[in-house]
Structure formats: C-alpha cells, structure tokens
Structure 1
Amino acid sequence: MKDLILIITSIINSFHDILMDLASESGLNLTDKDLHLWVFGIIGIGSFFIVHLLFKSLSKYSITAISFIYTFTVMLVLVFAIEIQQKITGRGQMEFDDAVISLWGFLLFFAAFLIIKGMFLLVKKLLKKQ
C-alpha cells in the first residue's frame, strides 16, 4: 500500500508542478493556495454535475442505489484514512489488502441486506396476490 500511495503522490506532485509552470508561463501569478482553489473548484463542480445527473436518473428506480453509492464512498474514505493513520502512528500494518478486505466486508453485508430485502418484497408481493 505504501508503494501505491507513493506512486499516486508522485503523479499528483508532477501534475501540481506542471500546473504551476503553466500558470507561471502564461503570466498568471498564482500561489499554491490559488491553484488549489481553482483545481478543486473545477474538479468539485464537475464531479457534482456528474453525480447529480447519475443520482437523478437512479432516483427514478431506486433510492437504495443512491444510498449504496454514498455509503461506499464514505467507506472508501474511512478505510484509507484508517490505513494511513496506522502508518503514521505505527499501530497496525498499513496494507492494501486490509483496505480491500474491509471494503469486501461492506459489500458482503450489503449483499446480505439485498437478499433479505428481496425475500421480504417477494413475500409481500405473494401475500398481496392472495
């Protein structure tokens, strides 16, 4: 996992340097804070529009799907935050496999929820027919 984080960090640092160089060469006097404001503003609003369209179309079919996507996103952030915290504090091992198995745990429990929900809806439907 440490290697993956180092690779991602290297890519982000390279992208940061390229953006700073482009801004400087184009005559823009952007500080690091200015760059963060613009980059995260653009990424954030772009992501919002995509997510909004996705959730709007999903809401016609299932609120459960929206809840799943939101919860999975929160779990993803939480799992990696815990793994990074383990590396920083030295308590536990920071391993990518831990992150993967943690997310599998959520997926397994969510699948069980869907099976139980499906069985409940099937019984409800069968009782309505009678």
Structure 2
Amino acid sequence: MVAIIKALMRAVNDIHDVFIQKSQGSGFNLTDKQLHFIIIGIIGILIFAGTQMLFKWLAKYSITAISFIYTFTVLLVIVFGIEIEQKITKRGNMEFADIVAGIWGFLYIFIIYLIIRIAVYLIKQYTKKRKVKKL
C-alpha cells in the first residue's frame, strides 16, 4: 500500500514539475497556486461533464444507480483516508487489503439490499396481479 501511494505521489510530482517547466518555458510566470487553480479547475470540469452525462443517462433508468456510484466514491475516499490516518498516527497498519475488505463489505451488504428490494418489488407486482384477477 505504501509503495502504491509513493508511486502515485512520484507520478503526480513529476506531472506537476512538467506543468511548471512548460508554463515558465512558454513565458507564463504562473505561481504554484495559479497552476493548481487552472489544472484542478480543468480536471474538475471534465469530471463534472462526464458525471453529468452519465448521471443524466442513469436517471432515466434508476436513481439507485446514481446513489450507488456516489456512495461508492465517498466510501473510497473514507477508506483511503482511514488507511492514510493509520500510517500517519501509527495506530494500525496501512494496508491495501483493508481498503479492499471494506469495499467488499459494502458491495456484499448492497447486494443483500438489492435482493430484498427486488423481492419486495416482485411481491408487490404479484399481489397487484392477483387483485386485478379477482375483480
């Protein structure tokens, strides 16, 4: 886990250095804060555009799918935060396996939720059909 985070940090730092060199080489004397403002702004709006298209399409079929994606994303941030906090405070072990276990726990319980929801839906459909036949 630590090796993965260090590799990601190196990649981000290398990309950061390239942006600084390119901005200075092209005559723009942008500060680090200005570069963050521009780059994160662009990345954010691209993510927003993709998310907007995906969620509009999904909304035609299921709000549950949108809720799932949102919850899954928030959980990823939470479990990574917990593992990083454990590394910083030395109160526990920072392990990728913990992240995977937590996400699998959510997926497992979510599947149980879906099974119950489908069962309730099918029971309602069945009882509606029986009521219609009796009339």
Shift of 1:112: 0.5
2:35 & 2:101 partners in 1: Cα distance?
36
TM-score (norm 2): 0.96
1:29 & 1:100 partners in 2: Cα distance?
43
1:44 aligned partner: 44
2:27 aligned partner: 27
Greater RCO structure (CA 8 Å; 6+ sep): 1
Unaligned 5+ residue runs, structure 1? Answer: none
Identity %: 53
Unaligned 5+ residue runs, structure 2? Answer: 131-135
TM-score (norm 1): 0.99
> Matched residue pairs, number?
130
- Secondary structure at the residue paired with 1:91? coil
2:2 aligned partner: 2
Question: Which digits, 9 at most, give the CA deviation of each residue in 1:17-49, with x for residues without a partner?
Answer: 001000000001111100100010000011001
2:35 & 2:72 partners in 1: Cα distance?
29
1:28 & 1:100 partners in 2: Cα distance?
43
Return the letter of the residue paired with 1:57: W
- Secondary structure at the residue paired with 2:93? coil
1:92 & 1:62 partners in 2: Cα distance?
39
Question: Which digits, 9 at most, give the CA deviation of each residue in 1:72-106, with x for residues without a partner?
Answer: 00000000000000000000000000001000001
1:40 & 1:115 partners in 2: Cα distance?
40
Question: Which digits, 9 at most, give the CA deviation of each residue in 1:32-71, with x for residues without a partner?
Answer: 1001000100000110010001000000000000000000
Over alpha carbons, which structure has the higher Rg? 2
Return the letter of the residue paired with 1:98: D
1:119 aligned partner: 119
Query: Deviating runs (4+, > 6 A) in structure 1?
Result: none
